């Protein structure tokens, strides 16, 4: 398989997973904001911080409000983190990988892009925006279903899977950063009074609420939620499961030993994380560190398979 082709399908999967997770997070956070009292200290800007976009946002918007945050995260073509730019990159990588993917993949990706372009002007209407976000999530899941059910288990497939689970690990770590905000010792009484609601929304952002309650019951305890999303070996969006899946996919690709060693080292770090008794600020730092290490694994993948002559 050519390096350029491998790189295209790899980034197709990263952008597809990024689009779904960004949409999922904005959708759930909007629900949370509707349930919290207006004076609560958690606001729209929490979303921008999760994507490390604080400085860039302030350079573009003098005020923090719902409309500006939604424009920044969804429609701002000058913001590389915006959903519309991830969708454009997804579409381009799908268009140039037609010979490697089930043909329905391109049809779904193109229809998704055109739908979002058409309906983005309505993003300032909350109800219509929520409908659009749900439609995006459903379309992304359809595309993953087509890939899972109609694609041979070849190198292109395993590049897709490696990228999907690497991106998913990164997004789960960012959502756990949100948990660290909720756990701060100095959070106000207005937030403490809604702790159960906050944990419910956090689990929903990863579609984890039902699986969590099957295991732990309906009493949401912070330590159990954090342990579930970090270590559960059977839930597909936990850090441990996603990183293990990265290793499984890497092992099906040529000469993976160096990358597998790095993946195993990362998995060992996640295994040793104990989110139950440590300060919230430490969780924040641990997730930041994990994101840097995930970026380094991505760099090594580039070095190994996409640009071996550049290093």
Distances 13 to 90, 183, 264, 274 between C-alpha atoms, Å:
8, 32, 22, 30
What is the reported pLDDT for 298?
97
The predicted structure's pLDDT at residue 41: 61
- The residue with tokens 């759930």 is 28
Q: With 70 as the cut, is the pLDDT of residue 176 above it? A: yes
Cα–Cα distance for residue pair 36/31, rounded to 1 Å: 9
- Per-residue pLDDT tens for 113-165? 999 999 988 888 999 999 999 999 999 999 999 999 999 999 999 999 999 99
Q: Which residue has the tokens 């912070």?
A: 222
Tokens representing 295? 């970026």
CB 42 within 8 A of CB 202: no
pLDDT at 171: 92
CA separation for the pair 57, 45 (Å, rounded): 9
Tens-digit pLDDT profile for residues 211-231: 999 999 988 888 898 899 999
The H-assigned helical ranges of the chain are 3-35, 45-50, 54-60, 66-70, 83-95, 103-119, 126-150, 155-182, 189-192, 195-204, 209-216, 222-231, 239-250, 257-272, 280-301
Those residues with Cβ within 8 angstroms of residue 303's Cβ, 6 or more apart along the chain or in another chain: 310, 311
Round the average pLDDT of the chain to a whole number and report it. Answer: 90
Question: What percentage of the chain reaches a pLDDT higher than 70?
Answer: 91
pLDDT computed for residue 280 by the predictor: 65
Q: What does the pLDDT average to over 38-64?
A: 85
Q: Is the pTM of this model over 0.95?
A: no
Whole-number pLDDT of residue 273: 87
CA distance 90 to 85: 8
Contact 280, 185 (CB under 8 A): yes
Question: What span, in angstroms and rounded, lies between the C-alpha atoms of 157 and 9?
Answer: 8
> Can you give the pLDDT at residue 178?
75
Residue 180 has a pLDDT of 72
pLDDT at res. 285: 84
Give the CA distances from residue 168 to residues 15, 122, 287, in Å, rounded to whole numbers and listed in that order.
Answer: 11, 28, 13
Which residue did the predictor score with more confidence, 285 or 82?
A: 82
Six-digit token string for 260: 């597998």
Decide if pLDDT at 281 tops 70.
no
Q: Give yes or no for a contact between 247 and 267, defined as CB atoms under 8 angstroms apart.
A: yes
Does the structure show a pLDDT above 70 at 311? Answer: no
pLDDT at 235 over 80: yes
Q: For 122-138, b where at least 16 C-beta lie within 10 A, e where not — what string?
A: ebeeeeebeebbeebbe
Residue 286 has what pLDDT? Answer: 87
pLDDT of residue 190: 65
The 10 Å Cβ neighbour count of residue 175 is 21
Mean pLDDT of 44-63: 90
Confidence class of residue 35 from pLDDT cuts 50, 70 and 90? confident
Distances (CA, A) of 221 to 53, 124, 198: 30, 35, 11
Per-residue pLDDT, 122: 85
Give just the sign of the alpha carbon dihedral 176, 181, 183, 189.
Answer: negative
């Amino acid at each position: 398989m050519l390096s350029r082709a491998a790189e295209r399908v790899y980034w197709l999967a990263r952008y597809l997973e990024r689009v779904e997770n960004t949409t999922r997070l904005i959708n759930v956070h909007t629900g949370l904001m509707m349930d919290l009292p207006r004076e609560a200290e958690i606001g729209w800007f929490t979303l921008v911080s999760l994507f490390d976009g604080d400085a860039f946002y302030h350079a573009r918007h003098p005020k923090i409000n719902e409309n500006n945050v939604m424009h920044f995260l969804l429609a701002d073509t000058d913001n590389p983190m915006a959903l519309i730019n991830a969708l454009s990159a997804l579409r381009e990588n799908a268009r140039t990988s037609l010979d490697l993917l089930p043909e329905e993949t391109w049809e779904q990706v193109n229809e998704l892009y055109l739908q979002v372009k058409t309906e983005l002007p309505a993003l300032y209407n909350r109800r219509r925006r929520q409908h659009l976000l749900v439609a995006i999530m459903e379309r992304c899941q359809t595309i993953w279903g087509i890939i899972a059910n109609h694609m041979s288990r070849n190198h292109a497939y395993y590049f897709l899977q490696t990228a999907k689970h690497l991106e998913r690990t990164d997004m789960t770590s960012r959502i756990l950063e949100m948990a660290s905000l909720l756990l701060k010792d100095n959070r106000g009484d207005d937030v403490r009074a809604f702790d159960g609601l906050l944990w419910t929304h956090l689990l929903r952002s990863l579609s984890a609420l039902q699986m969590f309650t099957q295991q732990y019951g309906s009493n949401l305890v912070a330590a159990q939620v954090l342990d579930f999303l970090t270590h559960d070996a059977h839930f597909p969006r936990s850090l441990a499961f996603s990183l293990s899946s990265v290793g499984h996919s890497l092992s099906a690709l040529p000469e993976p030993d160096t990358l597998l060693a790095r993946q195993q080292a990362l998995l060992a770090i996640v295994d040793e994380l104990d989110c139950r008794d440590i300060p919230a600020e430490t969780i924040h730092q641990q997730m930041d560190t994990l994101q840097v290490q995930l970026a380094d694994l991505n760099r090594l993948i580039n070095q190994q398979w996409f640009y071996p002559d550049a290093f």
